[in-house]
């Protein structure tokens, strides 16, 4: 594993929870949008697997990356494929803190309402 966030997001986009959680510390603290934080790699895998079941796919379009010590901040447009095949892109910012080469804290700031709106909307 490495601190290469582009590789980490590529593993998320593979839609394979095992590839994603391989980048996480065993005791990771992971918070996705307004959900309660999930602690631990196994819990994150469970949460990500459940979330993946609600969408058809996703692609992270990384716009900017800033590194400050052990923390990486990313500005991203996330393109979601809905289960009905529609595509919706929403802005996103992540704050990722590393311990060694593994993620110890991950905060994801995103509004998923447009993804699940009927009809779909984009922001």
Structure confidence at residue 111 as a pLDDT band (50, 70, 90): very high
Q: What integer pLDDT is reported at residue 1 of this predicted model?
A: 62
User: Which H, E and C letters describe the chain, residue by residue?
Assistant: CCCCHHHHHHHHHCCCHHHHHCCEEEEEEEEECCCCCEECHHHHHHHHHHHHCCCCEEEEEEEEEEEECCEEEEEEEEEEECCCCCEEEEEEEEEEEEECCEEEEEEEEECCHHHHCCCCCCC
Structure confidence at residue 38 as a pLDDT band (50, 70, 90): very high
Calculate what percentage of the chain has a pLDDT beyond 90.
93
> pLDDT tens, 54-96?
999 999 999 999 999 999 999 999 999 999 999 999 999 999 9
Domains in the chain, CATH or no CATH each:
5-116 (3.10.450.50)
């Amino acid at each position: 594993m490495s601190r290469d966030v582009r590789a980490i997001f590529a593993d998320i986009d593979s839609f394979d929870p095992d590839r994603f959680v391989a980048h996480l510390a065993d005791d990771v603290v992971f918070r996705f949008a307004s959900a309660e934080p999930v602690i631990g790699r196994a819990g994150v895998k469970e949460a990500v697997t459940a979330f993946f079941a609600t969408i058809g796919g996703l692609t992270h379009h990384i716009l900017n990356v800033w590194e400050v010590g052990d923390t990486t901040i990313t500005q991203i447009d996330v393109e979601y494929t809905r289960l009905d095949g529609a595509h919706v892109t929403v802005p996103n910012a992540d704050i990722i803190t590393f311990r060694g080469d593994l993620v110890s804290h991950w905060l994801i700031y995103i509004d998923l309402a447009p993804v699940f709106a009927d009809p779909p909307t984009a922001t």
